[in-house]
A and B are shown apart, each in its own frame.
Chain A
Amino acid sequence: MIRKKALLTALALSGSAFAFAALPAATPALAAGDAIRDLTLIARDQGANPQAFQAAQLIAQAWGKLGLNVSVRGLPRLQQSELVWYNRDKWDMTMWQMVGRPERSDPDELVYNLFHSSTAESGYNFIGYKSEEFNKLAEAQRVETDKEKRRELLRQAQAVLDRDQPNMFLVYPKRSFAFDNAVFAEDSVVEQPGLGIKNIWSYLGAQPLGDQKDMILNSTDPLNAINPLYISGATDSWVTELIWDRLLRISPEGLAEPWAAESFEWIDQTTIDVVLREGMMWHDGNPVTVEDVVFSFEVPNVGDEVPMYQPFVKNIESVEATGDRTVRFKLKGPSASFLTSSLAKVNLTPKHVWEAVIDDLANRPENAESHQEDLPIGSGPFKFVRWKQQEEVVLEKNADHFSPPNIDRWIIRIVSNTEATVSMLRSGEINFLSDYNGDPEVLADVADKDGDIAIVSSTDIGFQYATVNHRRPPFDDVAMRRALSLAIDRNLMVAAAWNGSAEIANSPVSTALSYWHSDDTDAISGSLEEAQQILKDAGYEVIDGRLHYPDGIKETLEGP
């Protein structure tokens, strides 16, 4: 489709060239189409994401130099989502972001869901990018179980995105975390690429140095739920992954490795045998059995009671216990991300607790997401103690676990005021800064004065980007998108908007995922002249400072 359009544009161009040759007296202005309408770039309001808002203003300026009239409009998150998601043909440009999560250590989720055509109608491809070539690569990498080959497919997919510029990726932000190194031994805190020190390996490994054996963290947002069958807010997932075990876990190196499973073995491309670790117990004292494992992977497909986990078990044909400690999974088709996005994602859920709940829910409109256990029961390295909404969640060490933590309690405080978190870190009200959106320099200053605060800053798996609506011309034109992307000076952006704490981005696979990230995409850099040349070559023309469509193209849409 896009090719066809480019061809037509080229034809139109050569046509107008002929016209020039034949009629040298004709005024050049007649060779251009309509002026491009005024455009609005939507961004989160300044207070909510000051960096992205500043970036949006720099972008609007840069695009202004191309002859577009772009104004920035700040919106609260929900209004932005509402417009971009539920009014897919009503907006032109928006800023957006993806955040890092452990399961995004596998590139599949972000590569496939953001750009595959199947998600354009109602899923996350809200920009409406459609490329058969990309679809094929995205599908192929999903089923390729040979790691090397899969990497090659992902490189090709990233190259297509680099060429088509569906989004204008800006930066992979660096996130700052900090902890009190008088409380925890500095070398016992683990950094996981893309996630920083806020990960289960830190919580398990952190070695208390003195009497303070509680790790006290912070979160800006309150929790929605603590439920093994519900993927809710980000903070919720920090808690659920500690209470509930998974068969595999993402290691600090970003690979899915045995956890509750002692081992696993691929029998063929669609069959995998898993051996359950011996002697595991639920927090209520019952043993963890293979029936529990089978239940955990079957329950998302029971009616519509566990909708959020359905995508992660969709590819499972059958799961059955083949012995006291062995389970066999049969898949519908080969899947490269099965280890990461199924075995390391699905929580092991006690059948004796949840079976009756699910049965009961079958006759009611609510689903499992509405069921909040008073005392959540998992088998993980931490046990649930209490949850005080808007205040804190307290977990305690599960000494019987096969990988028990060194700390006694893991407490997450809900702190709505970002500035106060730094003060709390200093006073010891918290000793692990796990959620910080403030100025990194303020944090560095405080750490300097305090002397006992270690700061760790890591490049995120997530990224910040600007994007355009492919359903609305001229953004269906690759040349236009390439020009828009090249006009952005990403280095300036890193320095001016992110205060230097970010890396420039041009791929949905972060540099933090060094194995999967394609270095070939790193070449993108800002050059206004190049962008202007691309537009010129594609037939766009600047008249009186205003960019016009190529010859013969009418503006069919209205500006704001």
Chain B
Amino acid sequence: MVRVVNRLLHMLFVLWAVATIMFFMFRLMTGNPLAAYIDTNFTLEQQEALLVQFGLDKPLWQQYFIYIGNLLQGELGQSFFYRKPVGEVLMNAFPNTIVLTMGALVVAYLFGIPVGAYLAWKRGTWIEGVGIPTVLATRAAPEFWLGMILLAVFAFNLGWFPSGGANTAGAEFNSEFARFTSVDFLWHLVLPALSLALYLQGLPLLLMRSNMLEVMQEEFVTMARMKGLSEWAIIMRHAARNALLPVVTTFALSIGLSVGGNVVVETVFSWPGLGRLLVGAVASSDFPLAQGAFLLITLVLVSMNFIADLLYHVLDPRVSHGSNN
């Protein structure tokens, strides 16, 4: 229990540190947020009024305390670009990103785990000789390139899937849940999720493979062989189960890592997610929105870390014994 509280305090500290660094980083960066509003009729009075509106007329330290004060009340401020509360803007994009990330991760892990196990079993054969380089090449290929290839083949040439967006133009739904479970949405999800999954599959696959190789040296596997069990039974029931543990915890970590890393895929597929929002916010010096987006990503990341940590203790008692000493 003390450990959990300790971890939570750590999390708060990390969030505060990220919020502070973000705050100063954006304000010390060269770049004037007013530059985004330049217009032929832009007068000096308008420029000054805008600074007051954005709260940038106050000294830096004062801006900082206002910001932290608001954060403590759960207020992320108002986006310069959208002139709307940052929380509201983020919440429009966040579910789309979560669905895309989770979809891609599930596919990546469902594919990576068995294939990783299989490749370990086939160590030293030609299958490994072809498999590993293929996996490495797919993982190393730039995401935007993969995305563009998928677009060119499956959208432009074959016309099987749409070229972008999360729904058909003008599609109407009774609720967000109905939208996420609609055929239309899933049909739009396929290509972006596949691009992301192609990138994400490398980690579970390679991790599973190396764990398997280790586990296969263990005595209980030799024992299983001696009992004359079938290969399939040995892989799935004995070796894989033991090798799976670290892979499961990386799943949680991956959620955190990829939520912020979908920028490229979201842009290529015009996906209405957090990554595109973040790029737009940074490009237009929309400090509050960029800070909010980074903070949200950090929050997901540290929470997932926390969950992975807890999960590890639950799944593998050896770890918690170690840390209690």
Contact = CB atoms under 8 A, between A and B. Distances in A.
B93 A390 contact: yes
Contacts of A527: none
A78 B36 CA distance: 6
B277 interface: yes
A391 B163 contact: no
Nearest to A392: B169
B163 A420 contact: yes
A391 B151 contact: no
Contacts of B166: 391
A225 interface: yes
A224 B89 CA distance: 11
A216 B273 CA distance: 21
A426 B170 CA distance: 18
Contacts of A416: 164, 266-268, 270, 276
A489 interface: no
A110 B40 contact: yes
Contacts of B45: 304, 307
B210 interface: no
Contacts of A113: 40-41
B130 interface: no
B265 to A, nearest CB: 11
Contacts of A333: none
Contacts of B155: 420, 423, 427
Contact of A413 (B82, B83, B169, B267): B169
B284 interface: yes
A82 B47 contact: no
Nearest to A408: B170
Interface string A373-390: 000000000000000111
A545 interface: no
Contact of B30 (A82, A304, A367, A426): A82
B165 interface: yes
Interface in B152-182: 155-156, 159, 162-170
Contacts of A85: 32, 35, 38
A82 B45 CA distance: 18
A429 interface: yes
Interface in A27-82: 76-79, 81-82
Given A416-B267, A420-B151, A124 B83 contact: no
Contacts of B270: 413-417, 420
Contacts of B89: 389
Contacts of A423: 151, 155-156, 163
A310 B163 CA distance: 42
B52 interface: yes
A424 B49 CA distance: 41
B114 to A, nearest CB: 33
B226 interface: no
Nearest to B277: A390
A214 B170 contact: yes
Contact of B43 (A230, A311, A370, A424): A311
Nearest to A215: B169
B69 interface: no
B84 interface: yes
A231 interface: yes
B34 interface: yes
A177 to B, nearest CB: 18
Interface in B204-248: none
A439 interface: no
Interface residues of A, number: 57
A82 B283 contact: no
A86 B164 contact: no
A411 B167 CA distance: 13
Contacts of A365: 52-53
Given A366-B53, A423-B151, A424-B164, A123 B31 contact: no
A86 B35 contact: yes
A415 B164 contact: yes
A335 to B, nearest CB: 15
B288 to A, nearest CB: 13
Given A109-B41, A423-B156, A391 B170 contact: no
B39 A231 contact: yes
Contacts of B41: 109, 113, 124, 308, 311
A415 B35 contact: no
B134 interface: no
B231 to A, nearest CB: 46
A114 interface: yes
A198 interface: no
Nearest to B33: A78
Contact of B83 (A308, A370, A392): A370
A533 interface: no
A254 B42 CA distance: 24
A419 interface: yes
A470 B195 CA distance: 51
A163 B10 CA distance: 68
A316 B32 CA distance: 33
Interface in A399-434: 409, 411, 413-417, 419-421, 423-424, 426-427, 429-430
Contacts of A311: 41, 43
Nearest to B272: A390
Contact of A121 (B44, B81, B269): B44
Contacts of B42: 123-124
Contacts of B39: 124, 231, 308
Contacts of B163: 417, 420-421, 423-424, 427, 429
A78 B169 contact: no
A230 B39 CA distance: 13
A269 interface: no
Given A78-B283, A82-B30, A224-B81, 19 more contacts: A79-B31, A81-B35, A86-B35, A113-B41, A124-B42, A224-B82, A308-B46, A366-B53, A370-B53, A370-B78, A389-B272, A409-B170, A413-B165, A416-B268, A417-B151, A417-B164, A420-B151, A423-B163, A429-B163
Interface of B: 30-32, 34-36, 38-47, 49, 52-53, 78, 81-84, 89, 92-93, 148, 151, 155-156, 159, 162-170, 266-270, 272-273, 276-277, 280, 283-285
Interface of A: 76-79, 81-82, 85-86, 98, 109-110, 113-114, 121-124, 214, 216, 222, 224-225, 230-231, 304, 307-308, 310-311, 365-367, 369-370, 372, 388-392, 394, 409, 411, 413-417, 419-421, 423-424, 426-427, 429-430
15 contacts: A76-B283, A82-B30, A85-B32, A370-B78, A389-B93, A390-B93, A416-B267, A417-B163, A417-B267, A417-B269, A424-B163, A426-B156, A429-B162, A429-B165, A429-B169
